[in-house]
Amino acid sequence: MDITILGIESSCDDTSAAVIRNTTLLSNVIASQAVHMKYGGVIPELASRAHQQNIVPVVDTALKEAGVAPDELDAIAFTRGPGLLGSLLVGVSFAKGLALAHDIPMVEVNHLQGHILSHFLDLPDRTLPHPDFPFLCLLVSGGHTQIVRVDSPLEMEIVGTTIDDAAGEAFDKCAKVMGLGYPGGPVIDRLAREGDPEAFRFAHPHVDGFDFSFSGLKTSFLYTLRDAVADDPDFIDRHKADLCASLQHTIVEILLKQLVRAAKEYDIRDIAVAGGVSANSGLRNGVVEEGRRRGWRTFVPEFRFTTDNAAMIAVAGYYHYLHGDFSSLDVSPVARIEE
């Protein structure tokens, strides 16, 4: 029997709705919020207000594009957390209203599991490559940096995590120092293409096991810039591409080092990346190259499934649905989820 699910994602600054039939994506609509750009970061109050404005048209468009009426839905999957409470609340409340109005069950999804399960989406005209279990997923976003061992769609274990900043945060904070705007990750990626990745050396962390640290790199980047600008006020402008390329190269090296360690330790060769930073061209190429050298099968998501989207929430909801995990109507969002 076919299962049709509406997914709703509103954990940060993207309002998104998607419809899937089993694992096949029928629609995926994303409204991004430009309002945060001029503040150099996401302002929670503004994010929540923008979600309130976007959610009705976004869900409506997703259903229309999929050619699915609300009564045809078997479940509504929504992001319960982690994320910004005010943002999550908009998605959760909307899911409840729709569930109640049409008597449809609700399924809550952990946003991070959603990023990982985006690797199980298919398209109407073709199946996409899916990793075999167990696989390792390097999950890199604006708020998280983890290595997750995935044993089944619903059984995951975090084997490494950042002890300070997330990789996306490192990109965004360093971009801010260079005056590149928010979010800075994609801008650094673009500028890095013209630069020399060996032009500057920044600090590498010494972290045991499979954990990550980016605060030392951030400080070393900051000090390099501060000292150089003291001698030459135009330093950043003149070296922007080289700074971006070197920074990106260092972040990718830090990520890959721990990923290689974990792959060896767990003897796993199916390796995936997920989350917003997996849109980064340096990381995408780096993982594929590393995989070629080490005999991994590597799984790099299509660009539209890297940053926040509801397709991944819908597919995660599908697996919960099969498992019979339903939420009650008094479910509330959670900003942090302790694993």
Q: Which does residue 279 bind out of ligand KG4, Zn ion, none, counting CB within 5 to 8 angstroms by kind?
A: ligand KG4
Rg (CA), the chain: 20
- Does 2 belong to an annotated binding site? no
Interface residue list for ligand KG4 (CB under 6 A)? 12, 141-143, 168, 171-172, 183-186, 189, 275-277, 279-280, 307-308
Residue 26 one-letter amino acid: L
Judged by CB, which is closer to Zn ion: 90, or 245?
A: 90
Q: Is 308 in the site for Zn ion (CB under 5 A)?
A: yes
Q: Which does residue 185 bind out of Zn ion, ligand KG4, none, counting CB within 5 to 8 angstroms by kind?
A: ligand KG4
In angstroms, the CA 100 to CA 118 distance is 27
Q: Is 15 in the site for Zn ion (CB under 5 A)?
A: no
Q: SS3 for 45?
A: helix
In angstroms, the CA 235 to CA 240 distance is 8
Which single residue is written with the structure tokens 């109407």?
124
Q: Are strands 155-161 and 24-32 parallel, antiparallel or unpaired?
A: unpaired
Tell me, residue by residue from 239 to 268, as one string, x for binding to Zn ion by CB under 5 A and - for no binding. ------------------------------
Report the nearest approach of ligand KG4 to the CB of residue 82 (Å). Answer: 9
Among residues 16, 27, 79, 141, which is the contact residue for Zn ion, using CB under 5 A?
141
In angstroms, the CA 139 to CA 198 distance is 26
Choices 18-26, 66-74, 134-142, 244-252 (CB under 5 A): range interacting with Zn ion: 134-142
User: For residue 100, how many other CB atoms are within 10 A of its CB?
Assistant: 11
Would you state the structure tokens that stand for residue 9, as one six-digit string?
Answer: 């994602």
Report the nearest approach of Zn ion to the CB of residue 61 (Å). Answer: 21
- Does 14 belong to an annotated binding site? no
User: For residue 39, how many other CB atoms are within 10 A of its CB?
Assistant: 10
- Does 143 belong to an annotated binding site? yes
